Chain A
Amino acid sequence: MSIWSWSYTFEVFPIIFDALWITLAATITAYVLAMVLGLVLAILRRSAFKPLTWIVIGLSEFIRATPPLVQLFFVFYVLPFYGISLSPFVAGTLALGVHYSTYCAEIYRSGIDSVPRGQWEAATSLNFSSTQKWRKIILPQAIPPIIPMLGNYLISMFKDTPILSAITVVETLQAAKIAGSASFRYLEPFTIVGVLFLLLSYPSALLIKKLEVKLNRRSLGKKDKKLKEKGVAA
């Protein structure tokens, strides 16, 4: 392929590769925020105080239904009018984290809902406080089965970080764009970005799938065992 220039590739690769750290840092920061805020949303949603539940549901639906790119602009351009000026990186991770927290909340909710009611009742009968119930009884059962799903969102968020380039965060795509516009060659820089994303996200997705199968097998195994016990007994 004569169109592809290897010398140019070697020239821009280090620049783009360096920016990968920004991509990864943004992913992880936003992910931690999404996980923590998502859990808070999921717990608030179960609040006995109904107005709070409705506010959480309404707000989550709104955030989930509008583009993260626009939310990014909102955080970056609107908040300064109210005395909150954030660096592009902070604004970007904040917007991305909040957006995905509404997805994480749904995952947590499915995990929490799958803990049998009897567990809550047993915890009440032993007089655990509300916080202790969540920490010691419910969450330790609710979270392990949803780890693969939460992992999938990590990959999704990773792939969404290029939108941070829209508010001048120099992550991989923005680094490639800058390099490309300097030399009027976009082929190599953008291809490198694509390949980097693929190289990181594809194996991660495989890994998560493996974990999912393993978890499934474990819970199926447990059921099998119980069935067997019943069968032997009957």
Chain B
Amino acid sequence: MINTYIEMVPALLNGAKITIEVLVLSLIFTYIIAFIAGLGKLSKFRAIRVVCTIYIEIFRGTSLLVQLFWIYFVLPFFGIEFSALTAGVIAMSLCYGAYASEVVRGAILSIPKGQTEAAIALNMTPFQRMMKIIIPQAFKIMLPGFGNLSIELMKGTSLVSLITLGDLTYQSLTLRNTNVAHTTEIFVALLVIYFIIALPLIVLARWLERRASLGRV
């Protein structure tokens, strides 16, 4: 039994590398998109608001897997071809970015009006008001939401195995094909590895949640 696990190590290690790569890249782009779309939905320009709303509702209203397939299998029809890794990162970022943008927007809206008014009274430009007064306060409110979304995103990375990207899940499925007798070991190991990857995110998310509920935001 120990041997079985040792034989699995190289393949799973490779898979873990890909999973973490997808995870980290998607996290970065998710939160960039979140701020762009979240602020865009609050823009005073109607056109920007409409575009952001359409983006958010489309990506929140359909499935991540459908989006992934669309980007990977359909876009080539328009001459846009991505590697599986790129397609995976794009789909994940767009999907979770849409959810995260709602966290951004909600946090900004929760800042009392008096803060904006005080900033106006100090003759700050709208840009200064946002960057120096509103966002620093709102950011702390966003953090628990971001923590939980990051866990969701981590779990979502497993879907890239379905567009043949060699992540943890994909490697395990391949391993299973050649070692059917060890199916149990393979999937137990897989679940445990995902849990280990999730653990720091969970600890972080719970800590942020607790901090927020204590009012020390």
Interface, chain A (partner B; CB < 8 A): 3, 61-62, 64-71, 73-74, 77-78, 81, 159-163, 165-166, 173, 177, 180, 185-187, 190-191, 193-194, 197-198, 201-202, 205
A68 near B66 (CB under 8 angstroms)? no
Which residues of B62-76 have CB atoms within 8 Å of chain A's CB atoms? 62-67, 69-70, 73-74
Q: Is A81's CB under 8 angstroms from B62's CB? A: no
Residue of B nearest to A188 (CB): B74
- In the complex, which residue of chain A has the Cβ closest to the Cβ of B72? A186
Interface residue B61 (Cβ < 8 Å from any Cβ of A): yes
The 8 closest A-B CB pairs, nearest first, are A67-B158, A65-B198, A67-B155, A186-B73, A162-B65, A198-B61, A197-B62, A159-B63
For the complex, give the distance between the alpha carbons of A208 and B207 in Å: 30
Q: Mind listing 16 A-B residue pairs with CB under 8 Å?
A: A3-B78, A62-B195, A65-B151, A65-B194, A67-B159, A70-B169, A70-B172, A73-B169, A77-B183, A78-B187, A162-B65, A173-B65, A198-B61, A202-B57, A202-B61, A205-B61
On chain A, the residues within 8 Å of B65 by CB distance are 162-163, 165, 173
- Pick from B63, B67, B74, B157: contact of A187, CB under 8 Å: B74
User: Are A197 and B61 closer than 8 Å at their CB atoms?
Assistant: yes
Cβ contact within 8 Å between A186 and B183: no
Task: Classify the interface of chain B: helix, strand, loop or mixed.
Answer: helix
List A contacts of B162 (CB < 8 A).
69, 165-166
CB nearest to B202 among chain A residues: A65
Say yes or no for B13: interface residue by CB 8 A criterion. no
What residues make up the interface of B, taking CB atoms closer than 8 Å to A? 57-58, 60-67, 69-70, 73-74, 77-78, 151, 155-159, 161-162, 169, 172-173, 176, 183-184, 187-188, 190-191, 194-195, 198-199, 202
Chain A residue numbers with a CB within 8 Å of B62 are 159, 194, 197-198, 201
